[in-house]
Amino acid sequence: MQNTVILPQWLDNLIFEQLGAKYCRSNSDMTVIDWDKNDVLNYLGTYFPRSYAESYCIFSYLFQTYPSIFCQNEEISVFDFGCGTGGEIIGLVDAITMYCSKLKIVNVTAFDGNMHALRIYERIFEESKYHLNFEAKTKVVPLEIEDFYDLSVLLSVLHGNFDIIMTFKAICEFVTKDRFETNNPYAHIVRSFIPKLKTGGVILLDDVTSYNNVSQEWLPKMMDAGLSMLPHCQTIMKNHGYNQSFIVHHTNKNTDVSKVAWRIIQKQNN
């Protein structure tokens, strides 16, 4: 499995030169939803390239291993829960460009609670269209999730079912903010979105591997415990060991390493 990526030159120029992204690594528990514009630009320069690399490598591996899942389709729909500035979305569409030549239309629904991040994502997505070999469409869903009710509101405005649902470094924020009380947030969020997933569709969970000071638990262990609670879905791919390293080269960091835990779940017939 590929684990090293060079950020495409057009993308590198856009985020660092035109948008003013900064590389500013932080190892603290992140709550991106609360960040202002300057914080988001720091996030853009630090975590966008990492999410791009993780997504590109993981989806490339999926498409090569299971080409029949999506690569025979002409159109697919994608939902990103907690998209931030959209690094994982651009990584996905680049992997589709490389491995799914039959695809003609990709529809992306991007949810996040930070408006600064969403505006940046829209700018990047529009520019990405010039570098794809298919038609790409997106719509954003701006909503802050405070509790179970807000999540139900989000579910109510999502129309249709999706081929791919993904979330990158977002569920850890709900753990840090203790949004779902004593419920395992990985189990709760995946259980909530399973009805929005087409049979045979996949959910990709990608998250940091740190010890969370709020839950007092290692996040990958919490992820696996949550997934073990869910019927009608099967983990078809995952990282080996405790975490997996991905490397991305870009203007502000020649060799930037991220370590994440990831799982791909496929919805089975009920």
pLDDT for residue 27 is more than 50 = no
Gap between the Cα atoms of 55 and 98, Å rounded? 13
Reply yes or no on whether the pLDDT at 64 is more than 50: yes
Residues 10 and 194: their CA atoms lie apart, in Å, by 35
What is the rounded end-to-end Cα distance, in angstroms, of the chain? 31
CATH code (residue 66)? 3.40.50.150
Encode pLDDT of 171-228 as tens digits.
988 887 776 666 788 998 999 999 999 999 999 999 999 888 877 889 999 999 999 9
What whole-number distance in Å separates Cα of residue 108 and Cα of residue 244? 26
pLDDT at 177: 73
Per-residue pLDDT tens for 102-128? 999 999 999 999 999 999 999 999 999
CB proximity list for 83: less than 8 A, separation 6 or greater? 89, 110, 111, 112, 117, 118, 121, 140
Of the ranges 84-98, 133-147, 183-197, which is most confident?
Answer: 84-98
Alpha carbon 63 to chain centroid distance?
A: 16
User: Can you give the pLDDT at residue 175?
Assistant: 82
What pLDDT sits at residue 29? 44
- pLDDT at position 263: 98
In the chain, what percentage of residues exceed pLDDT 90?
A: 70
What's the chain's average pLDDT? 91
**33 vs 130, more confident:** 130
Residue 85 confidence (pLDDT) = 95
Structural domain span for residue 255: 4-267
223 to each of 120, 197, 266, how far by Cα in Å? 29, 19, 16
250, 116, 88, 30: CA torsion to nearest 10: 90
pLDDT of 154 over the 80 cut? yes
Our count of domains for the chain comes to: 1
Which amino acid, residue 87? G
